[in-house]
């Protein structure tokens, strides 16, 4: 893939490299959300909170605001322009594609990866994306990785644990081997950690990002 050459710079000239790249920014796509709502209960759903925004609810705790820019790349580009962001490397969020049976997980990955590839096609100088993979089903995950690479994925996003398994679980070895063969970077994103329900992170909104997420990624790397 040729280097990204930005054509609407904020502090440069036409044809220069992007000066601000946002590597942690989310895009969900309606097809993925529809599948989650259809098959994600009882752990996952949506709820409108007192701030007026609709949130993805993960194990009883608000996880992500379902804002229009997460579903519409034209809206996202306008938001990026407001914040001086030249290039966004978008990824899904938790629970990623880690729910349901094999067919559901694989379909969820296909849906979100297709959505994000479409974002890049529509805005080739503003959007790149990280593939989501059905890790719990390694053969499907490797096949989806190959498909995603062919469609432009520049890396992989994964949550710090998958279905109660650490990322070093031997089940995932074939997926890591495939990622290594391509030399792709992996974005480890936090989710509700082990013990989240017992810890009652939902009591205060700051507890999940401030404590739960830090614990989740710290344990993953440790």
Partner 1 sequence: MLDGFFDRYGALDLCLEVSGPGKVMFGTDLPMGADVDALYAVVDRLPADQVAAIKAGNAREVFAL
Which residues of this protein are in contact with partner 1, per CB under 8 A?
A: 1, 3-4, 17-26, 64-65, 67, 69-70, 79, 83-87, 89, 128, 154-155, 185-190, 209-210, 213-214, 217, 221
Please, what is the minimum distance in Å from the beta carbon of residue 74 to partner 1?
A: 14
Please, what is the minimum distance in Å from the beta carbon of residue 23 to partner 1?
A: 5
| Nearest Cα to Cα of residue 117 among 148, 77, 88, 87 | 148
Please, what is the minimum distance in Å from the beta carbon of residue 113 to partner 1?
A: 16
Return d(Cα 51, Cα 213) in angstroms, integer.
Answer: 22
Q: Nearer Cβ to partner 1, position 75 or 122?
A: 75
Q: Nearer Cβ to partner 1, position 104 or 154?
A: 154
Please, what is the minimum distance in Å from the beta carbon of residue 217 to partner 1?
A: 6
Q: How many helices, marked H, and strands, marked E, lie in the chain?
A: 8, 10
Distances 139 to 106, 154, 172 between C-alpha atoms, Å: 10, 20, 10
DSSP 10-43: SSS-TTBPPS-EEEEEE---HHHHHHHHHH-TTT
Q: Nearer Cβ to partner 1, position 64 or 105?
A: 64
Length of the chain: 222
Give the rounded distance of the alpha carbon of 190 from its chain centre: 10
Please, what is the minimum distance in Å from the beta carbon of residue 101 to partner 1?
A: 28
Q: Nearer Cβ to partner 1, position 47 or 83?
A: 83
């Amino acid at each position: 893939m040729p280097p990204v050459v930005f054509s609407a710079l904020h502090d440069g000239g036409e044809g220069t490299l992007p000066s601000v790249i946002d590597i942690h920014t989310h895009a969900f796509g309606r097809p993925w959300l529809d599948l989650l709502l259809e098959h994600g209960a009882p752990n996952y759903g949506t709820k409108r909170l007192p701030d007026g925004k609709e949130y993805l609810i993960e194990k009883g705790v608000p996880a992500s605001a379902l804002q229009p820019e997460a579903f519409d790349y034209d809206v996202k580009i306008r938001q990026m322009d407001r914040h001086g962001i030249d290039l966004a490397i978008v990824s899904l969020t938790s629970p990623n594609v880690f729910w349901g049976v094999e067919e559901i997980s694989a379909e969820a990955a296909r849906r979100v990866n297709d959505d994000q590839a479409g974002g890049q096609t529509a805005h080739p100088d503003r959007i790149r994306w990280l593939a989501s993979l059905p890790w719990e089903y390694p053969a499907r995950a490797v096949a989806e990785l190959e498909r995603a690479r062919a469609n432009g994925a520049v890396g992989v996003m994964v949550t710090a644990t998958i279905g109660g398994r650490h990322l070093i679980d031997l089940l995932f070895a074939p997926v890591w081997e495939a990622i290594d063969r391509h030399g792709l970077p992996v974005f480890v994103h936090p989710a509700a950690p082990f013990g989240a329900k017992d810890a009652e992170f939902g009591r205060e909104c700051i507890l999940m990002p401030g404590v739960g997420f830090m614990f989740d990624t710290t344990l993953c790397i440790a």
